Amino acid sequence: MRLKPLIGVAALLYLVTCSSTLHAQAAPDSNDSATAAQAPATSAPSTPANDEPTPMPRVAPAAYPMQEGFIDSRGVLIYYMTVGRGAPLVIVHGGPGASHDYFLPYLLPLARHNRLVFIDERGSGKSQKLDDPAGYTVENMVEDVEAVRQGLVLGKISLLGHSYGGVLAQAYAFKYQNNLSHLILCSTFPSTTQMNEVFVKMKQKMSPELRARIDAAEKEGLFGHGKDYEKNRYTNDYMIAAWGEGYFPYLYGNKPDPNYDPIAAGIVPWDLYREMWGSHGEFVIDGNLKSVEYVDRLPGIHVPTLIMVGDHDECDPSLSKEIHKQIADSQLVILPNSGHMTFVDQQKIFTTSVIDFLHPNLQKRNAAKAGS
């Protein structure tokens, strides 16, 4: 389930070309308001002779400094990047083997309300690689998230996981629920068996010609082909067929990425990917993620939970409906005309849904202002 890394490339370029401090318009805080209220009253300035209105004083832009670093998680250095203000919202990415880059710049508006803490999971992005791929497990990555929480002294956190990151977020909730204030599960699955059933149906909907090409490549074996430097990854033809023609209709809807390149999607930590996803193609999970069977454990989650999915998501909406059914009082948002990259296809709906979920009082105040 490879996510589009060119979003990550664009995000890196975005961050490099910008200063390390992000700016956004914001109203003065309560202290500023109080100071203004205590200032002595002055007479209103007279209107100039040419009847032009006096310009309003400018509000200083709010600054959102970025911080990055590494947390030592039992001998593995885990990269983090933070930006924003407020209660911490930890964000874990998909793949497995992608990085936090593909969230940017799309999730930045959330930084106005929360301190965003992006993590690159072990073996991914800027985090440390392992000599032994057997160390790439959901359970170990749960401990990495907890190490970041402790290392940054975050206290209780909200946790957002997208795609495979949603699997990781569920696993974290099972073990460390007391450390959570909110849980947000985006375009994910609670059961590898159910996800594999979705892949079977996905193949059935393909054109016979595309399905035949994919089946033939998988039957022949997907690794060991081409030049020596090509043998430990999918062939270009398979990447185009599986990720380009097969997956693309389920990745985007409203805003398909014009720069999407299925071959560039193959720039991944392949040892991690094969250990966790498996080596038999994109339409079956048979690596160590086959142990993910969480449906019966979901009723044990009691923190406020938001579930979001695209209406034609690669992780079919039926999977999110199952999670919603199992977690009492959870909220389910199905984003229209949206694939797996919901925060790209429907950025405004995605952002508003998260903010309203994490800050219900803010929603009420805005509604009151609108009605006044």
Give the Cα separation of 306 and 190 in Å (integer): 14
163 is catalytic: yes
SS3 for the chain is CCCCHHHHHHHHHHHHHCCCEEEECCCCCHHHHHHHHHCCCCCCCCCCCCCCCCCCCCCCCEEEEEEEEEEEECCEEEEEEEEECCCEEEEECCCCCCCHHHHCCCCHHHHHCCEEEEEECCCCCCCCCCCCHHHCCHHHHHHHHHHHHHHCCCCCEEEEEECHHHHHHHHHHHHHHHHEEEEEEECCCCEHHHHHHHHHHHHHCCCHHHHHHHHHHHHHCCCCCCCHHHCCCCCHHHHHHHHHHHHHHHHCCCCCCCCCCCCHHHCCCHHHHHHHCCCCCCCCCCCHHHHCECHHHHHHCCCCEEEEEECCCCCCHHHHHHHHHHCCCCEEEEECCCCCCHHHHCHHHHHHHHHHHHCHHHHHHHHHHHHC
Per-residue model confidence (pLDDT) at position 48: 47
pLDDT in tens, 269-281: 999 999 999 999 9
Which residue in this structure is represented by tokens 């209660």? 87
Which tokens in the block code for residue 325?
């059914």
Q: Which of 73, 124, 163, 191 is catalytic?
A: 163
What is the reported pLDDT for 328? 98
Token pair 């590494």 in the structure block, residue: 70
The string of pLDDT tens digits covering residues 161-187 is 999 999 999 999 999 999 999 999 999
Verify whether residue 225 is a known catalytic residue: no
pLDDT of residue 265: 93
Give residues with Cβ within 8 angstroms of 207, minimum separation 6: none
CATH numbers and ranges of domains, the chain:
5-13+61-202+292-371 (3.40.50.1820)
CA dihedral (242, 243, 247, 253) positive or negative: negative
Tens of pLDDT along the chain (372 residues) come to: 766 444 443 443 333 333 333 333 333 333 333 333 333 334 444 444 556 666 767 888 999 999 999 999 999 999 999 999 999 999 999 999 999 999 999 999 999 999 999 999 999 999 999 999 999 999 999 999 999 999 999 999 999 999 999 999 999 999 999 999 999 999 999 999 999 999 999 999 999 999 999 999 999 999 999 999 999 999 999 999 999 999 999 999 999 999 999 999 999 999 999 999 999 999 999 999 999 999 999 999 999 999 999 999 999 999 999 999 999 999 999 999 999 999 999 999 999 999 999 999 886 666 666 665
Spatial separation of the C-alpha atoms in residues 94 and 106, rounded to whole Å: 15
Q: Hey, what are 80's tokens?
A: 């983090």
Q: What is the pLDDT of residue 16?
A: 35
Closest by alpha carbon to 288, among 168, 207, 370, 175? Answer: 168
**Rounded CA gap, 300 and 305, in Å?**
12
pLDDT, position 58: 82
Res 40: pLDDT = 36
In this predicted structure, what is the pLDDT of residue 52?
66
The model scores a pTM over 0.75: yes
313 included as an active-site residue: yes
Catalytic residue among 313, 338, 345, 353: 313
Rounded distance, CA 1 to CA 314, Å?
Answer: 8
Query: Catalytic residue among 93, 124, 340, 345, which?
Result: 340
What is the rounded distance in angstroms from the CA atom of residue 109 to the CA atom of residue 107?
A: 6
Strand 21-24 to 62-73 pairing: antiparallel
